[in-house]
Structure 1
Amino acid sequence: MKPLTHCTLCGSGNLRPVLSTRDYVVSGENFDIIECNECEVRLTTPVPEPDEMDRYYESDKYHPHSSGGFSLSDIIYKVVRGIMVGKKRRWIERFTGVRGGRLLDIGCGTGEFAASMRDGGWDVSCVDSSENARKIAKDRFDLEVMPPQVWLEQDCGPFDAITFWHTLEHVYNPEFYLYRARSQLTEKGCMFIGVPNFTSHDAQTYGDQWAAWDVPRHLTHFSPTAMERLLDRCDLSLRNMRGLPYDAYYVSLLSAKCSEQNSLSALFTGFFSNRKAGADKKWFSSLIYMVRPKSNDEG
């Protein structure tokens, strides 16, 4: 592992400590969260080397790469995922104005969303770093999922829509991923980026025990300001932003487990997170950023 001395997004050495937390899912190891005073992104430090990172995903408790368990959080995760696949499809078709186009799902996990889009008439390509998740997606949905290095080396576009559902926070170089994705959009194509939001009410409530820090799997942590600055550097324009209200309940339940609080208090936290977000989106637990290349702003 290596401690960070410079921001991995803007390169600034002007960093400040924010909090210390630990890996509540797999290792129990301690990590720090620091903030760049220039671009306001938050970062996990120290950073595991790529060949070390796999072991932090090797747990049945890590829902996106597993076939699922039967705990309350497992059940809620599966129910919410089922609800959201339909909502995401409607958002994509409404925002792009396309039905049955080409979709690239980066960080597809076990393939539920990609399979739903395929079944809705879309030509779907998928990317995921987890060998186990790729196998589940193949066995369960007959999806062929590329490892990231294959996608990064191939020109498999253009796509009408490219999705990063809770993916960008996991990658070592978010800026490179966005540039690469941007180059594979159609002229009117759009990107949809869903990430946790550290300015949310639930993040403020749980502090270092907020489950969406999810160290060290989450390397980069975003606020609306930090995301807009990253998009600007990637020549991308934010066109719309939506909250993910169900995430507030799910993340609060996981956070309550980390802090040994009861589930009822977590549900109240999720409720108040969404209630505050009704007045200001910065309070949403997670946000979806709908973006287009700046050159297509007139579209």
Structure 2
Amino acid sequence: MNLKKELYLTCNDYTVSNKKFDLLYNSELDMLETFPQPIGQDLAKYYESSAYISHTDSKKSLTDKLYQIVKSYALKSKLKLIDSFQTEEKNILDVGCGTGEFLLTCKKGGWNVIGVEPNLNARELAISKLNKNDSSIILSDINEITAQQFDVITLWHVLEHVPNLTKYISKLKSLLKPNGVLLIAVPNYKSFDAMYYKNYWAAFDVPRHLWHFSKTSIKKLFSKENLKVNKILPMKFDSFYVSLLSEKYKTSKSNMLKAFYIGFRSNLKAISTKEYSSLIYIIKNT
């Protein structure tokens, strides 16, 4: 059955190409889909920018420095979260591990770590941090893992980048132990800051973000693999960082005070709506 998808917004790629991409609304899943979606090497070229901070450890600009400060705090919070789960062997897989900071934090915290990172530069940085003599700890593709299962699998702002979404979720299910925990963090296009900035909202990040999720879409997509969303947690700092970038896209200026105000309003609104700028989904086998 071909589902008719309505145009929701048209956005620019502000990072690499300045090309326009449509966001189409999928009513069956209550999510947005980037159109057209680049594939293969065509998609890879949209990541080739020094401005793509998750693939570098850049601290050059004020935005970079703020990102690194928030990241340091977030790493401690993430470790505390995964430590709260009852696990058998403390084996963790971090998909889209970037430059390896989270895996390094987990390793220092007593976890057995494996990462997946397709970007060569980011992967080499991660390997250099974790173990210069063992590149097998950081893989380039999730399909390289075939005979192993994990207590915890994390995707921190990764699922929105993944082509072949349903196939990828099925792969995640196969890698998760029966009592394992899957942590999915993604932007929320129903947040106040998304509604406010519209086509300038930095977390649309077309065409690198292929999908744009709501709570309903995450629950429906994972329920197809008998995976259940047990809890949803906010990522409160994201509204400030995303608003800072969105202001730059909208006005060509940093406008820190305005960005902080919008980020604050977004979190304030979310106290009642629960629609924070980004959300962490704690998902378990059913």
What residue in structure 2 maps to residue 26 of structure 1?
16
In structure 2, the CA distance between the partners of 1:100 and 1:82, relative to structure 1 (3 Å rule), is farther
Q: CA shift at 1:13, angstroms?
A: 2.4
What residue in structure 1 maps to residue 138 of structure 2?
145
Residue 110 of structure 2 aligns to a residue in which SS?
A: coil
Contact kept, 8 Å, 1:14 with 1:38, in 2: the verdict is no
Q: Is the counterpart of residue 286 in structure 1 residue 278 in structure 2?
A: yes
Query: Number of residues paired by the alignment?
Result: 280
Residue type of the partner of 2:283?
V
What residue in structure 2 maps to residue 253 of structure 1?
244
Rounded to whole Å, the distance in 1 between the matches of 2:144 and 2:211 is 23
Rounded to whole Å, the distance in 2 between the matches of 1:92 and 1:29 is 39
Q: CA shift at 1:153, angstroms?
A: 4.2
Moved more, 215-224 or 169-178: 169-178
Q: CA shift at 1:98, angstroms?
A: 3.3
> Of 77, 80, 85, which aligns to 1:90?
80
Residue 180 of structure 2 aligns to a residue in which SS?
A: strand
Residue 164 of structure 1 aligns to a residue in which SS?
A: strand
Q: Is the counterpart of residue 67 in structure 1 residue 57 in structure 2?
A: yes
Residue 270 of structure 1 aligns to a residue in which SS?
A: helix
Q: CA shift at 1:121, angstroms?
A: 0.5
Contact kept, 8 Å, 1:211 with 1:258, in 2: the verdict is yes
What residue in structure 2 maps to residue 273 of structure 1?
266
What residue in structure 1 maps to residue 148 of structure 2?
157
Residue type of the partner of 1:243?
P
Q: Trace 1:42-57 onto structure 2 (pairs within 5 A).
A: 42-57=32-47
Rounded to whole Å, the distance in 2 between the matches of 1:141 and 1:258 is 35
Contact kept, 8 Å, 2:87 with 2:180, in 1: the verdict is no
Contact kept, 8 Å, 1:100 with 1:121, in 2: the verdict is no
Residue type of the partner of 1:275?
L
Q: Deviations over 1:36-57 (max 9, x none)?
A: 1211110001111212111111
What residue in structure 2 maps to residue 102 of structure 1?
91
Residue type of the partner of 1:285?
S
Residue type of the partner of 1:43?
E
Unaligned runs of 5+ in 2: none
Rounded to whole Å, the distance in 1 between the matches of 2:35 and 2:140 is 25
Contact kept, 8 Å, 1:99 with 1:121, in 2: the verdict is no
What residue in structure 1 maps to residue 193 of structure 2?
202
In structure 2, the CA distance between the partners of 1:97 and 1:25, relative to structure 1 (3 Å rule), is same
What residue in structure 2 maps to residue 112 of structure 1?
101
Rounded to whole Å, the distance in 2 between the matches of 1:175 and 1:92 is 25
In structure 2, the CA distance between the partners of 1:12 and 1:221, relative to structure 1 (3 Å rule), is farther
Residue 74 of structure 1 aligns to a residue in which SS?
A: helix
Q: CA shift at 1:280, angstroms?
A: 2.4
Q: Deviations over 1:220-247 (max 9, x none)?
A: 1101111111111222101000000000
Residue type of the partner of 1:279?
S
Rounded to whole Å, the distance in 1 between the matches of 2:138 and 2:74 is 21
Contact kept, 8 Å, 2:15 with 2:52, in 1: the verdict is yes
Q: Deviations over 1:79-116 (max 9, x none)?
A: 1111111101111121x223860000001010000110
Residue 259 of structure 1 aligns to a residue in which SS?
A: helix
In structure 2, the CA distance between the partners of 1:100 and 1:120, relative to structure 1 (3 Å rule), is farther
Q: CA shift at 1:174, angstroms?
A: 2.2
- What is the root-mean-square deviation of aligned Cα atoms in Å? 1.4
Unaligned runs of 5+ in 1: 1-10, 295-299
Structure 1: 4+ residue segments shifted above 4 A: none
Q: CA shift at 1:281, angstroms?
A: 1.4
Residue identity (%): 37
Residue type of the partner of 1:290?
I
Rounded to whole Å, the distance in 2 between the matches of 1:57 and 1:180 is 24
